[in-house]
């Protein structure tokens, strides 16, 4: 039986996965669901702490957990090597599965893009496929996102991961590329494309109304299915 939840994956690092994760977890918790964000591995920690951002957004440490943490801001496999540590894929996968089992709904946040080396012999896409969760793809809004996003969706579908939505983050519609990208992407990948406007996230709690007001409730239904 597959766990209840979603995987929030990105086309790259810094595209807004954590914002979408925090918004979805907070939105679910507002509806009374015991939802938890799960970060398989955090690099660049500190200062980077994606699970900490989600916890701050939701006002409780119970809203997020992180399986492994590393100091160097590198791919997890590379960061572990730099620190002289052994990073076991089985340990990361099992840690995610335990966290999913402990929560009513889990939202697993990816690390960088899908082809980022997670361990010596596995990539982020392997973990997403093994956890058997539907995915939300987060991408940039501007020029270049068509190729990166379509390739990400294709990679997931090749691994039998169902993609429920594409989210273009920090969408302003300031350029022709931005204005046309949502409709073009929908035609390319056959999946609904949503947009999030730029938002001041100095207070992480702002991620929750941002996501609630701009993404459809059907995404929550995907997590609860």
List pLDDT tens digits, range 59-103: 999 999 999 999 999 999 999 999 999 999 999 999 999 999 999
Residue 193: CB partners within 8 Å, gap ≥ 6? 165, 166, 167, 168, 181, 182, 183, 185, 186
* Ordered DSSP codes for 170-207: S----SHHHHHHHHHHHHHH-S-EEE------SSGGGH
- The residue annotated as part of the active site, out of 29, 36, 37, 39, is 39
Q: Is 210 annotated as a binding residue?
A: yes
Continuous H helices in the chain: 17-30, 50-58, 76-82, 89-102, 124-131, 145-158, 176-189, 207-214, 217-224
Q: What is the pLDDT of residue 222?
A: 78
Token pair for 41: 């591995």
**pLDDT (tens digit per residue) in 98-142:** 999 999 999 999 999 999 999 999 999 999 999 999 999 999 999
Q: Is 43 annotated as a binding residue?
A: yes
Q: Is 67 annotated as a binding residue?
A: no
Q: Is 38 annotated as a binding residue?
A: no
Does the active-site annotation cover 39?
yes
C-alpha 40/C-alpha 172 separation (Å) is 31
Which residue(s) pair with 69 in the sheet? 42
User: Hey, what CATH topology would domain 5-224 get?
Assistant: Rossmann fold (3.40.50)
Which residue(s) pair with 35 in the sheet? 105
Using CA atoms, how far residue 188 sits from 73, 141, 148, 191, in Å, is 33, 15, 12, 8
- Residue 220 banded pLDDT, cuts 50, 70, 90: confident
C-alpha 28/C-alpha 47 separation (Å) is 27
Domain map of the chain by residue range?
5-224
Q: Is 211 annotated as a binding residue?
A: yes
């Amino acid at each position: 039986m597959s766990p209840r939840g979603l995987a929030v994956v990105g086309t790259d690092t810094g595209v807004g996965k954590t914002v979408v994760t925090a918004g979805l977890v907070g939105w679910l918790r507002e509806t009374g669901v015991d939802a938890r964000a799960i970060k398989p591995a955090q690099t660049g920690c500190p200062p980077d702490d994606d699970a900490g951002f989600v916890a701050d957004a939701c006002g409780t440490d119970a809203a997020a957990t992180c399986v492994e943490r590393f100091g160097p801001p590198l791919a997890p496999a590379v960061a572990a090597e730099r620190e002289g540590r052994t990073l076991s894929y089985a340990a990361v996968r099992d840690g995610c599965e335990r966290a999913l089992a402990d929560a009513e709904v889990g939202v697993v946040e990816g690390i960088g893009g899908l082809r980022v080396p997670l361990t010596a012999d596995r990539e982020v896409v392997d973990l997403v496929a093994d956890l058997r969760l539907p995915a939300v793809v987060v991408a940039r809004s501007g020029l270049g996102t068509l190729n990166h996003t379509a390739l990400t969706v294709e990679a997931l579908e090749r691994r039998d991961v169902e993609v429920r939505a594409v989210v273009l983050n920090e969408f302003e519609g300031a350029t022709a590329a931005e204005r046309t990208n949502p409709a073009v992407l929908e035609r390319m990948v056959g999946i609904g494309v949503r947009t999030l406007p730029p938002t001041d996230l100095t207070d992480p709690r702002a991620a929750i109304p941002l996501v609630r007001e701009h993404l459809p409730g059907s995404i929550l239904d995907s997590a609860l299915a």
